[in-house]
Amino acid sequence: MKVLLLWDSSSSSTWDVGHFVSRALRRLGVKVANFVYAQEIVLQNLAINAFRGTQDVSYDGEAVLLANRLMLGYIASSDCDAIISVCSLDVYKSAWTWIAGLRRNLKKPPKVVFLYTESPYRPAEELENARWADYIFCNERSFVPRLRAFQPRTWYLPQAYDDQWHVPAQREPRYGVYFCGSGFRNRVETLEQVDWAATGTTLTLKGLWPDIEPGTPLYPYYEKGLVPNERTVDDYRASQICLNVHRQEGEIVVFERDVPERSYMRERRPFRVRDAWSMNNRTLEIAASGGFQITDTTRDEVGEVFGASVPRYTDAAHLQELVTYYAQRPDERARMAAEARLRIEGRTYLANMKRVLNLIGG
């Protein structure tokens, strides 16, 4: 089987998903051609700057358009059995229209498979795009019934870890409490309310936190910049406590449609996520890497999968209490981390991709 894997335009979390999906497919004997959308946007920006004699100017609108055109050429010439798109939200609507037209003219058209990674944060866009897919695999179980109204061949695909990448290894502790992620407002608000000096340990924040600036409460704890996944895994191993605060902010896109085939965004409206069930992939990656973690109570799947091996906080005061308690108990942390790892045995990208291939007939 030959697959054209379309990666999302993100250069962080969904990039990692694309990387691990590609690895798993290759291990299963699938011939994989990767179109790394984020990388192509960077390259197109460099090309436009060189052509216009500018330097470090962002031409993202034009670069995305050119990347989409290049992607269409990949699809037309790939002779693939399936197009698997990670996230699937940043490809132009016109590109999906073109792909649909191409498939109608082929004797053996490639199957279109969406791996939705942004549920429940971008529901309107996922529902809008669902019509272009033959199969959808969604990371949020509670959202699957809504998607099935648009595409009956929709399944819940749990978060996963890479069994060759996310493995325990002994490391000298470098961090007390460690969190690597994006600085969504609910995360900032929670962490700002904790008296970190009173916990008896230190806090380290990494990733993209645009609201953390000099003079803000979390600034002393922030190390700027994206962290490659292999470094993040190593940081998990070298942390006393890995922190995992689930995102609670989503965005509704209000669409207009002037003809059946053409829709466009009218506006974006923020909303607070209140009914999500599934945990994020950080939860699995920390546990598989041998890290001890504390997370929140907003995802019921955490309790079902991990039981008491992953402590969960209800608010900032409770988080401070848990951090203070576990910072002084290394043996208890080690025991709980070992149990958490055992509880997720087999929840891998390899297993997920086996299931995807079985369901799409690959």
Peptide bond into 270 cis (omega under 30): no
Quickly name the fold that domain 2-160+348-360 has.
Answer: Rossmann fold (3.40.50)
Pure H helices in 243-343: 281-288, 300-306, 316-327, 330-343
The answer to whether the 2-160+348-360 and 175-248+277-343 domains have the same CATH topology is yes
Q: List Cβ neighbours of 254 (8 Å cut-off, separation of 6 or more).
A: 124, 265, 266, 267, 268, 269
Length in residues, the chain: 362
The pLDDT of 118-137, averaged and rounded, is: 94
Domain boundaries, the chain: 2-160+348-360, 175-248+277-343
What's the pTM? 0.93
Residue with token string 């806090």: 203
| Residue pLDDT, tens place only, 248-276 | 999 998 877 766 666 777 788 999 998 89
Peptide bond into 120 cis (omega under 30): yes
Residue 11 has pLDDT above 70, yes or no: no
| Residue pLDDT, tens place only, 158-178 | 999 999 999 999 889 999 999
Rounded distance between C-alpha atoms, residue 275 and residue 242, angstroms: 24
Q: Give the per-residue pLDDT at 283.
A: 97
| Short-list 86, 85, 82, CA closest to 103 | 82
Query: ∠ CA(230), CA(232), CA(235), 5° rounding?
Result: 115
Mean pLDDT of the chain: 93
Rounded distance between C-alpha atoms, residue 209 and residue 245, angstroms: 14
Three-class secondary structure of residue 105 per DSSP: coil
The token pair that represents 139 in the structure block: 């990371």
| Short-list 198, 197, 239, CA closest to 220 | 197
Quickly name the fold that domain 175-248+277-343 has.
Answer: Rossmann fold (3.40.50)
Query: ∠ CA(166), CA(361), CA(140), 5° rounding?
Result: 50
